[in-house]
Structure 1
């Protein structure tokens, strides 16, 4: 019982395998109850890097441009339907959970007259790369025409995974569940991920031939591999690609896998991470070259960062665009709609939301800027806030180019501070300030000599 040489698809970006021009469809199984998650949210909708697991998988599928995509659901159908409502995904329903073979069979009507290759995936196995999917389809269409292609892997601990016994060419001699394997078979390290590629002309005919004579009384998809007739083949993926999620702990494990690989990618592409293990990216974070990210920075969805930006420690950024050479933090928070111009500065304990900072503008300390525009070269002093919400509506503040806002000022929107204007420290500004004017909103200082000593003497 020889085992095949390892075949691991390449990791390089865009290094995809040339495959058949036959039409492709995908069946994604997402009908499991997910009881171990202990959540009202459907298991496949729990996020990895800020994106639901199911959408990670569908995004990888998009690279292959499948003609049809079917998601098989059971409990939580309404949640899945809401998430895929604006896509070309068809939802099929498995009313009773009678095994993976039964689940795949529920996609029959949704696929209709489709004729081509089918790849079968799992919604809770979100990290499978397009390259690996293509490798499965490529193997399916090689000259020996295997009945099916199974994706195998070699985990650090094979534990109770089903085993695949294959010859040196990757032809499967036997697939066996761990509980049914003998000592020799359990010593095999090649395990079954459950992912499979197969032709549409074979899939449903084979499913009709499998039975449920097993302890669980279920119809198992892998059983079609061992039916009499043509042989099936196996190719291998790295174990991290087929890591599944059935619990919160496993979700955290998959998140860690994704983050580790993303950190490696961004450093390879010219980003300096001072303490890589402390940085967390979102699925769509875009970083330019010569960006420096200090420790303990979190990127939420929707962040684009230009070249030569420095993100200082303990900053949280989401929904923001940061221009070339800007400096952010430490302890800064950029929220949805923040646009930071080139060479601008957002300093410590500053929050920016739905606001634009022009080139070279500075908000350096302890300030909140919301629903505002800060012009080029303007300087917003420590403790300044834009009062953008009146309890019912949001209003905007405009701070002109070169303006200077003194410390501990409050700009009560809607308000416009003209170019080059100066707002004195401690001002509460409720009216527009003309360009180059001084705005001073505070009572005159009064000093009473010896008053403090007299007060203390009375104590």
Structure 2
């Protein structure tokens, strides 16, 4: 089966207190996005699409030595809108699409392989990588069907009931989709929300509404799904990336 990988790298990273695109901040002398691309290449995908936006020319220059295709997100209208920009590059593609974030370099090649194998073995249309967090505040919660492998819904903190807020399994933002299902659902999402943006997580609502099978695969080490939003988090990631377990 064929595989393509889409890496989100269009954001500004305002909380980094720097004009540099967030994915170009360095951990141990290497841009964050370089770690993500290198781990993606280890899976031998047919195509790696880098979604660029904020200071796109800088991101392209910094990644020019990698075998990636670029899709421009301008303006930036949300995560769903970002992935929409990859469709022209993947329009005839019939395999799976893995979605990664260029500012989350701590996942391992092994975890990605296990996630994809799980997705294929369950014949799901989409699979979410999840983790248990001691303090899940602020994250979207994964609501499973009675503790099984299938997901009933993904609910954001602000929309969660008290019972849902008590769930400690969270959405990592790493996904595997069947390509046709992904782009079909993206055509159906809207930006009718407070931010006026197109959210990738709304794709799951489309899948649930059609009765499609969505699964969740839980990683044992929650550090693997850490995103980097602040200088403090960058320093913590640098230390973790020195350990072989995050290669």
Deviation digits for residues 215-241 of structure 1 (CA, Å, limit 9, x no counterpart):
212111111112212020000122100
TM-score if structure 2 supplies the norm length?
Answer: 0.93
Cα distance in 1 for residues equivalent to 2:91 and 2:183: 12
Equivalent position to 1:207, from 186, 211, 228: 186
2:7 corresponding residue in structure 1: 28
SS of 1:141's equivalent?
helix
Equivalent position to 2:170, from 191, 196, 220: 191
2:155 corresponding residue in structure 1: 176
Larger Rg: 1
Cα distance in 2 for residues equivalent to 1:146 and 1:23: 16
Cα distance in 2 for residues equivalent to 1:42 and 1:232: 33
Q: By how many angstroms is 1:90 displaced?
A: 0.7
* Structure 2 residue 46 is matched with structure 1 residue 67: yes
SS of 1:64's equivalent?
coil
Q: By how many angstroms is 1:99 displaced?
A: 0.8
2:123 corresponding residue in structure 1: 145
Cα distance in 1 for residues equivalent to 2:138 and 2:66: 37
Name the Cα RMSD after superposition.
1.6
Q: By how many angstroms is 1:49 displaced?
A: 2.3
Equivalent position to 2:231, from 227, 248, 257: 248
Cα distance in 2 for residues equivalent to 1:139 and 1:208: 26
2:137 corresponding residue in structure 1: 159
Cα distance in 2 for residues equivalent to 1:212 and 1:136: 29
Q: By how many angstroms is 1:148 displaced?
A: 0.2
2:32 corresponding residue in structure 1: 53
1:99 corresponding residue in structure 2: 78
Cα distance in 2 for residues equivalent to 1:244 and 1:253: 11
1:236 corresponding residue in structure 2: 218
TM-score if structure 1 supplies the norm length?
Answer: 0.51
SS of 1:128's equivalent?
coil
Deviation digits for residues 401-459 of structure 1 (CA, Å, limit 9, x no counterpart):
xxxxxxxxxxxxxxxxxxxxxxxxxxxxxxxxxxxxxxxxxxxxxxxxxxxxxxxxxxx
CA contact (8 A) 1:225 1:231 kept: no
- Number of residue-to-residue matches in the alignment: 242
5+ unaligned residues in a row in structure 1: which ranges?
A: 1-21, 266-282, 284-459
Deviation digits for residues 82-140 of structure 1 (CA, Å, limit 9, x no counterpart):
12212210111100111100100001112242221110000000111111111221122
5+ unaligned residues in a row in structure 2: which ranges?
A: none
Q: By how many angstroms is 1:254 displaced?
A: 1.2
Equivalent position to 1:117, from 96, 102, 126: 96
Cα distance in 1 for residues equivalent to 2:168 and 2:112: 22
Q: By how many angstroms is 1:38 displaced?
A: 2.0
Deviation digits for residues 135-179 of structure 1 (CA, Å, limit 9, x no counterpart):
22112211x421200011112211111100113331001110000
> Hey, which bits of structure 1, 4+ residues long, moved more than 4 A?
none
Cα distance in 2 for residues equivalent to 1:115 and 1:44: 29
Cα distance in 2 for residues equivalent to 1:37 and 1:110: 31
Cα distance in 1 for residues equivalent to 2:75 and 2:65: 27
